[in-house]
Amino acid sequence: MFHKNLLALAGGALALALIATQPALAQDIPDNPDPGGRSESDRASGNVRGESVLPGRIGGGRPDRPQDNRATRNRNAPPAPPTPEQILAEAQALITAAGPACQVTEALQPGVDPEQRKIYEAVCAEGPGYILVAATPPQAFDCLELAGTAATARLRDPAADVGQQCLMPANQNGLAVIGGWARTAGVSCTIDQAIAIGKSDADNIVYEVGCAGVDGYWLEKVGTGWKLQDCLQISSVGGTCRFTTGQEQADGFEPKLAGTDAAACDVTQVRLMGQNANGRFYEAKCAAEGEGYIARINTEGVTQQIYPCATAQRIGGGCRFTPAPAAPAPTE
C-alpha cells in the first residue's frame, strides 16, 4: 500500500513538471491542432468535449480506489484462544508424556510460568489432579502434594507465597482420595481430615488422616501396598500428628481395656512404650488419682495382659504418667 502511494505521488509531480514546461516547448514546436478542435491544454487536463472523456496526465484517468486492509488486519490480529477440547487434548498429551497414569476429564489453561511456558490444570478420572507445565520434558505436579506443601508453609508463615495451586472444584478432593487410600491400607475409623505432609527417606509421599474421636494415622505408599502407622506410634518416635488430640487417643484406647482388670479405668492419657515379638506395650493413665496400667496388646489388637503401675516398675522402665509410690523407708 505504501509503495503504491509513493509511486502515485511521483507520477503526479512528474506530470506537473511536464505541464509547467509546455510554453517553452511551444516556442520550438509548430502548432499541431487536434482534428477534433481540442487545444493542447484540453488534451493535458482531460476536459470533456461532447461525449468523450480525454485522459488526463495526473492520475491516469482512473478513479482512486480505497486500499483493502483486511489481509493486513488479519495478519496483525491475535490468535484465537484455544477451545476447551484443544486444552483437554493438550493436557492429556502432557500428562501422558510426564508419566502419571491419568485419564483427563477436565482441564484449564490458567496462564504461563515465568519462562512463558504454558501451564495447565487437569482433573483425572481417578485419584488426584495435576498442575502441568509444557516444559521439555513436560512436568506434572500432584495437586495433593502441592496443597500439603502450601499448608505446611502457611503453618510457619500465614502470608507465605505458596505458588501455583489447583483451583478447579473437582481437584478439591483430598479427603476423598486420601481417605480411600487409608481404607485400602486398613483404616476403619471415620476419616474427617486428610493431607499430604511430606516425603519419607525413600522419597515416597506421606499422608496423614484424622479420625473422628479416635487415634489418626500416617500412611505411605510402598511399592504396590501401604505402610500404615497410628499416631501413638508416630508420637513414640518424636513425631506429631496435626489432626489427632491426646483426648482422641485416650478415648480410642479405652475400649481395649474392656473385659480386663483395668475395665473401670477412665483413660485420660495413653502412650506407646515399645514393642517386641509378643506385641505392643501401652501405658494408660486413669482419671482416678494414682491409678494407671500397662497393657500388652498382641499383633491382632487383643489385650493379653494388664499390669498395675504400682507394680510394673520392671516393664519398660515403669509408668511415666502414674509413677509407682515410693517404697516406705526402712524402720530401725
Average confidence (pLDDT) per 10 residues, the chain, 332 residues: 33 30 39 50 45 42 56 69 95 96 97 95 97 97 96 94 95 97 96 96 96 97 94 95 97 96 97 94 96 95 95 91 70 58
pLDDT for res 79 = 78
Q: How far apart are CA 268 and CA 254, in angstroms?
A: 9
DSSP 311: G
SS3 238: coil
pLDDT for res 50 = 43
pLDDT for res 323 = 81
* Residue 198, beta-bridge partner list: 206
Contacts of 314 (CB under 8 A, 6+ apart): none
Grid cell 507394680 is found at 311
Contacts of 4 (CB under 8 A, 6+ apart): 67
pLDDT for res 71 = 58
Give the amino acid at 188: S
pLDDT for res 65 = 57
pLDDT for res 53 = 39
The grid coordinates listed for 35 are: 482534428
Domain boundaries, the chain: 84-170, 173-244, 254-326
pLDDT for res 77 = 72
DSSP string, 175-205: HHHHHHHHHHHT--S-EEEEEEEEE-TTS-E
